[in-house]
Chains A and B, each alone.
Chain A
Amino acid sequence: MGKTYSLLLLFALFDLSDHTCENVQEQPEYDLLVIGGGSGGLACAKEAAQFGRKVAVLDYVEPSPPGTKWGLGGTCVNVGCIPKKLMHQAALLGSALKDAQILSLSALFLFHSCSSSLNVRLCCFLPNRKVKYFNVKGSFSDPHTIRGLTKGGKETILTAEKIVIATGGRPKYPIHVAGALEYGITSDDLFWLKESPGKTLVVGASYISLECAGFLTGIGLDTTVMMRSIPLRGFDQQMASLVTEYMESYGTKFLKKCIPTKVEKLESNRLQVTWKNTDSGTEETDSFDTVMWAVGRAPDTKALNLETVGVKTNSETGKIIVDAREATSVPHIYAVGDITEGRPELTPTAIAAGKLLAQRLFGQSSELMDYDNVPTTVFTPLEYGCVGLSEEKAVQCYGSDNIEVYHAYYKPLEFTVAERDATQCYMKMVCLREREQRILGLHFIGPNAGEVIQGFALGIKCGATYPQLMKTIGIHPTCAEEITKLHITKRSGLDATVTGC
């Protein structure tokens, strides 16, 4: 009791605001409670712990409909970026081996070993004995209290002064397709399959869909992508069509303008998918071993019981509405990562936002997360990296007369000798047209796009202009150097193919 009293006293010295006159609350156990042990949540918790605060993280993974579950670390580590990049790399090795024609599909097994080892690593560097971890499913019972339930139904009550919601999102299933939930899987399950998915249909045209279809093709599987309208919505559409064009030449099949209507299980255990081709108006059907839905992601806010505490969400998307400080409609409750409305669904933004939030909460910082010029890379067979505005967006913001687009079709040296087709190796830089020519966006398709674009993102963040880029000496022979040699404008109509040095 004495301990509680002294803590209370200490607390009272600093902050009385939470103590209403008629009901002196018990001192919250934790300074910060983070719901969700993914990239954003863990980054925020770790940072807060560095300021010597008492921090707890709640993490609980609801099994996916087919029953896949995993441990701490969130989407990125378990069913997102990390296993996907490993598969992408396996696929690249696979296509490097195309001549050999000896593809073993045991590649998929590698996830288990690697994901679990990463899990362990994450757990190790999580606490430093400072962050307490609970494997419970948390929901609000009052603004400062979280009720946690273990898998066995045991209840834990945790109280905290400040709460961060970072429970992320999960893949959606289509609602009006019979058999979708019953027979289909999502990206949550793909990486944990015990055996090869075989002939696969991937439904959707998001980057997740294209990435998964890309590596499945790469490891030698018969893979089809079904898309309703355009690929990579939100990305530059010229680049998006180059990405899918390359995938087609790489062997991925595409069913364009098609909407699935039902999935049935055949006696052979295969799945028969029926869809409507909106172009021809006909109904078509084919059978697959696996059907994967990649039709978008949605947060699971229902279980959090947000209404009781008054945290506002967007009724359409279910995502939590936050301001520039990541604060929700309830002052001491914050949210970061995929669960927040209008933010990019990317690990590094969640991490950066989580860290900055902890610094503002406990480190006397006022620095806000800047969501402009966030670079990203789509790990399709030919990678696509970009930062800043798409050409469409730039035209929309500034008008086509006020922007200058420099572009080039180039041929990576590694493609030349191997006589690989480099038709889609393309880059473009969107600049303002006025004298300074500030760079608004940079788009790069080619090998190692992720590694290439990071440094340019830094330059663009610093306000790089076209002349500044031209002043930098190239590195010969690399693909990245082609960016510093861009000189053909789209406006000129000249041939943008790079010829020699």
Chain B
Amino acid sequence: MSPPLLPSQLFLCYFTLFVVTLFFWGPDKVRRGLWDMLMYRSPAWSSQGVPAGPKKPPSELLGLQITLLCLGAVLSRAMAAAAYELLVLGGGSGGLAGARRAAELGARVALVEPHRLGGTCVNVGCVPKKVMWNAAVHAEFIHDHPDYGFETSGVRFNWRTIKEKRDAYVRRLNEIYENNLNKARIDIIHGYGKFTADPEPTIEVNGKKYTAPHILIATGGFPSVPPDSEVPGASLGITSDGFFELEELPRRSVIVGAGYIAVEIAGILSTLGSKSSLLIRRDKVLRTFDSLISTNCTQELENTGVEVWKHSRVQAVTKSPSGLLEVTVMSSAPGHKPTMEVIRDVDCLLWAVGREPNSKDLCLDRVGVEVDARGHVVVDKFQNTSRKGVYAVGDVCGRALLTPVAIAAGRKLAIRLFGGQRDAHLDYSNIPTVVFSHPPIGTVGLTEDEAIFAHGKDNVKIYTTSFTPLYHAVTQRKVKCVMKLVCAGKEEKVVGLHMQGLGCDEMLQGFAVAIKMGATKADFDNTVAIHPTSAEELVTMR
């Protein structure tokens, strides 16, 4: 489907045809006048006294040539105006944001998406995840109800209810995104886009070719599963994508991985009542986070009833006649003899061992877009790939796999390309992140180790606190809140903030603003607390 012509472009075409007709078959005087105009002279009909125009009209052949030239020029200009200025591959957070901002700035945009709009975030990521986390938080609150004076006997949880509501909400979001694109006059091309070998970067979708001076790759990523050759039976497991398809709460879950996705899913399943084991390769989860967080989070997982199998790897997975899985796990703590154990009757084996970029099937080699060893598209700070006119944002680049990062990068790129701000780019420092564990984790800036590496041990000062939030003052279930400020230099500039506890998810954003601004410990101290909150502890640390 080629883009429809705008009314003004249609008018231009018809006008050209009219002029051409006049040139050939119109009255002599008009023909000569038009010829004069073509020759950049005043037309004969406007300047009587001056001898104007050739003695005789140009030969029919010459006229034909000129006419065709004119027609071609005008039509190609009309076509060019109707052609796209930006093609976006991928209708996820980054692609949608980039496309919409470009359209706002007046560009003709088309977006290629094979599946539902919204990408990972909306369909199989942040949004449905947070809904499930909220459900789990409700389950935790129900534990506390008797302590707060409420009788709650006979509260039952129905997975199907929340799944149906969640799916309905996600579908609503899909529609909203589609409407937003339509409102912005962005064309949606349904299908899988691939680069062709044409000299100019060109995309082929369902056998049709599209091109534009600017092409944005925002195809995101997908969760990886170890190959069956490495772990026999690995493909019997699901991933986070499959988690959102579960129709029932699994009774026995095994989650493999130590990253935030593994932590979040293990927390949700366990809190909602599934007996859950988390298999990690080392002794702690979230090892790239600050040590306070990774230690505390591991502890909290165990406190909430998740069985954390440390130094463990899945050796093999088999399906028993009953249809349930048997997961063979090898645990080898340093200094101990490796042991082999089998977890039986598993109805949900979930791999959360990392994500891979959606770059393999794009035929990037045809246009010379460079990818790294893991398939991530290599970009500079302006999101330029190695091929001029081709850009990439979001998870496909493999850096800070977060929705708001992709959105911000997509918008910045659109502003740079179509908004005239040639230097617009995203600053990847101090990106705040929340992990929806139980309790939630909030973190921004450098970890203690990173700060020591960057500034030297003597120039780093650490403030920590650990307390029981007021909410738990009257509950039997006690979950502490831990916080750490990482400060650097004489002025004690706050370069990192790490916390885990009730409310830390909503707490972080404002602090991230201040840290981005370069706030110092003294600035923290000078801020009056809000009582009684947990956030006030951050401005009253000593």
Which residues of A approach B to under 8 Å, CB–CB?
76, 81-82, 85-86, 89-90, 93-94, 96-97, 100, 102-110, 113-114, 117-118, 219, 346-349, 351-352, 370, 373-377, 385, 413-414, 416-417, 447-448, 450-459, 461-464, 468-469, 471-481, 483-484, 499-501
Contact = CB atoms under 8 A, between A and B. Distances in A.
Contacts of B177: 500
A82 B149 contact: no
A370 B151 CA distance: 46
Given A458-B519, A501-B407, A93 B144 contact: yes
Interface string B70-103: 0000000000000000000000010011000000
Interface stretch (B273-281, B321-329, B357-365, B524-532): B524-532
B470 A97 contact: no
A501 B150 contact: no
Interface stretch (B297-305, B346-354, B431-439): B431-439
Given A114-B474, A454-B538, A455-B507, A461 B149 contact: no
Contacts of A105: 149
Interface in B148-181: 148-153, 155, 162, 165-166, 169, 173, 176-177, 180
Contacts of A110: 147-149, 474
Interface string B203-233: 0000000000000000000000000000000
Contacts of B180: 499-500
Nearest to B129: A477
A109 B148 CA distance: 9
B127 interface: yes
Interface residues of B, number: 78
Contacts of B508: 455, 475, 480
B165 A417 contact: yes
Contact of B434 (A81, A89, A452, A475): A475
Given A352-B529, A373-B528, A456-B510, 16 more contacts: A81-B531, A81-B532, A370-B526, A374-B528, A377-B530, A451-B503, A451-B504, A451-B507, A451-B533, A452-B510, A461-B526, A462-B518, A462-B519, A473-B431, A480-B506, A483-B510
A499 B434 CA distance: 22
Contacts of A468: 513, 516-517
A373 B471 CA distance: 27
26 contacts: A93-B144, A93-B148, A94-B148, A96-B141, A100-B155, A107-B148, A107-B149, A109-B149, A349-B528, A417-B166, A448-B503, A450-B535, A451-B533, A451-B535, A454-B536, A455-B507, A459-B510, A459-B513, A459-B519, A462-B514, A462-B517, A468-B513, A475-B404, A475-B508, A481-B509, A499-B176
B268 interface: no
A105 B430 CA distance: 46
B138 interface: yes
B531 A346 contact: yes
Q: Which of A102, A104, A413, A474 neighbours the largest number of chain B CB atoms within 10 Å of its CB?
A: A474
A230 to B, nearest CB: 23
Contacts of B144: 93
Contact of A104 (B151, B403, B517, B532): B151
A472 B535 contact: no
B181 to A, nearest CB: 11
A455 B510 contact: yes
B533 A454 contact: yes
B470 A86 contact: yes
B261 to A, nearest CB: 14
A411 to B, nearest CB: 11
A123 to B, nearest CB: 16
Nearest to B470: A85
A96 B138 contact: yes
Contact of B509 (A96, A375, A484): A484
Q: Which of A348, A414, A447 neighbours the largest number of chain B CB atoms within 10 Å of its CB?
A: A348
B429 to A, nearest CB: 10
Interface in B112-153: 121-122, 126-127, 130-131, 134, 138, 141, 144-145, 147-153
B477 to A, nearest CB: 13
A476 B403 contact: yes
Contacts of A454: 507, 510-511, 527, 529-530, 533, 535-536, 538-539
Main SS class of interface, A: helix
Contacts of A481: 404, 509
Nearest to A446: B506
Contacts, number: 235
A458 B149 contact: no
B505 A501 contact: no
B245 interface: no
A357 B347 CA distance: 63
B403 A97 contact: no
B28 interface: no
A406 to B, nearest CB: 14
Contacts of A478: 434, 505-506, 509
Contacts of A348: 528-531, 536
Given A110-B474, A454-B535, A481-B404, A475 B145 contact: no
A149 to B, nearest CB: 31
Contacts of A93: 141, 144-145, 148, 150
Given A348-B529, A462-B517, A476-B404, A416 B169 contact: yes
B427 interface: yes
A417 B169 contact: yes
A501 B471 CA distance: 31
A117 B527 CA distance: 29
A192 to B, nearest CB: 15
A106 B517 CA distance: 47
A39 B298 CA distance: 36
Which 9 A-B residue pairs are closest in the complex by CB-CB distance? A455-B510, A107-B149, A456-B510, A454-B535, A480-B509, A455-B511, A348-B529, A450-B533, A459-B513
A7 to B, nearest CB: 31
B470 A464 contact: no
Contacts of B474: 86, 110, 113-114
B84 to A, nearest CB: 23
B271 to A, nearest CB: 15
Nearest to B131: A417
B499 to A, nearest CB: 11
A451 B405 CA distance: 23
B487 to A, nearest CB: 14
Contacts of B503: 448, 451
Given A417-B169, A499-B176, A461 B531 contact: no
Contacts of B153: 102
A269 B407 CA distance: 63
B530 A457 contact: yes
Contacts of B138: 96
Contacts of A475: 404, 432-434, 442, 505, 508-509, 512
Given A107-B150, A480-B509, A375 B134 contact: no
Interface in B359-407: 402-405, 407
B130 to A, nearest CB: 5
A455 B494 CA distance: 13
Nearest to B433: A475
A385 B96 CA distance: 32
A231 B238 CA distance: 54
A455 B514 contact: yes
Nearest to B535: A454
Interface string B471-493: 10110000000000000000000
A384 B148 CA distance: 23
B96 A501 contact: yes
A104 B150 contact: yes
Contacts of A94: 148, 150
Contacts of A461: 523, 526-527
Contact of B517 (A82, A376, A459, A499): A459
Contacts of A100: 152, 155
A375 B539 CA distance: 12
B317 interface: no
Q: Which of A457, A464, A499 neighbours the largest number of chain B CB atoms within 10 Å of its CB?
A: A457
